[in-house]
Amino acid sequence: MSNLHAIIYHNLAVLLDAGVPTLKSLNIISEGLKGRLKIIFSNLSESVSKGNTFADSMAKHPKAFARLDLMLVKSAEVSGELPNCFKMLSNWHEFKNRLKRIFISRCILSFMLFHIVVVIVPLLSLILGKITTFEFLTKIAIALGSLYLLIAIPLTLYRSTPNTGIFRRLLDALILRIPILGLGIRQLSICRYCRGFNMLYKAGVPIAQCAAQATELTGNLIIADIFKGAMASIEAGNTAYEGFSRKLPLDYLNIWQTGEEIGELDKMSGKIAEISGDRAELLLTEFAKWLPRLFYAMICVVFIIQIFKQAGAIRSSYNIP
């Protein structure tokens, strides 16, 4: 879905930038879509034709459009920057898609190998007559079931936990402590804040409001705490930089401070988003590389254990001292 959003937003940006009216642009986009998205964009077109704003029309489909999308479109309509807004959203969704592709492509081989190993490990026992076919199939079912539960439980827990509260805070803190992955998530959350702030600021949203709304976009409550003091600092007549926690990396603090001092906060916040995004991509790619390696090591250990077990069984069968 996110990949389609990137394409759709890019096409909308091109049409609007070329001077095509909003309603006609939506009609053109909806004609090229299929299924659920076609229905959604047809509804958007109908809603806009009745005099509703683009953002209000999108808000009627909360499952189809992310909070960031709604914030930016609403601000861009006021400032008259819809083409640039959709261009920025297209780039953002493409960045997210790239991270997903990297992670999935690295993990899928490990997932397939696990299924192969689950069959191979008890196969020797079946061949030697140590277990029956039913026991062989039972072992496979238990191993695969354990894998699926290991994947499903954390995902279900993460999705079902409210976006705020003590449980979400504990879960977010736990994620940040996972080696390599935690560092990648930290950089990604910083990127989300700075990218959201950058896009809102460019859309003409007041800086205090940018700081408040961008904090909600981090996706991690622990990282959000680093930025949440910015709005209070701005409202007190100080800079956003003075409200940031010093847990934010020093280079990011210096870049942000420079942006506020020289009046180019849009460029500097965008620069931090770019740097942290690159670092997040590098770290998440590295985690995705090491995950299969860790899995291969576990497979080797399992095979070694099985070899010794089977060797012991054979020695016992033939009374070998």
More confident residue, 22 or 312: 22
pLDDT at res. 262: 93
In this prediction, residue 187 has a pLDDT band, given cuts at 50, 70 and 90, of: very high
Query: 182-197 as b/e, with b when 16 or more CB fall inside 10 Å?
Result: bbbbbbbbbbbbbbbb
Identify which of 196, 199, 204, 195 has the alpha carbon closest to the alpha carbon of residue 78: 204
pLDDT at res. 223: 94
Mean pLDDT of 179-188: 90
pLDDT at res. 2: 57
Of 73-82, 166-175, 264-273, the one with minimum mean pLDDT is 73-82
Tokens of 251: 């280079």
More confident residue, 181 or 253: 253
pTM exceeds cut of 0.85:
no
Kindly state the DSSP code that residue 217 receives in the 8-state scheme. Answer: T
pLDDT at res. 234: 92
Q: Which residue has the tokens 């439980």?
A: 153
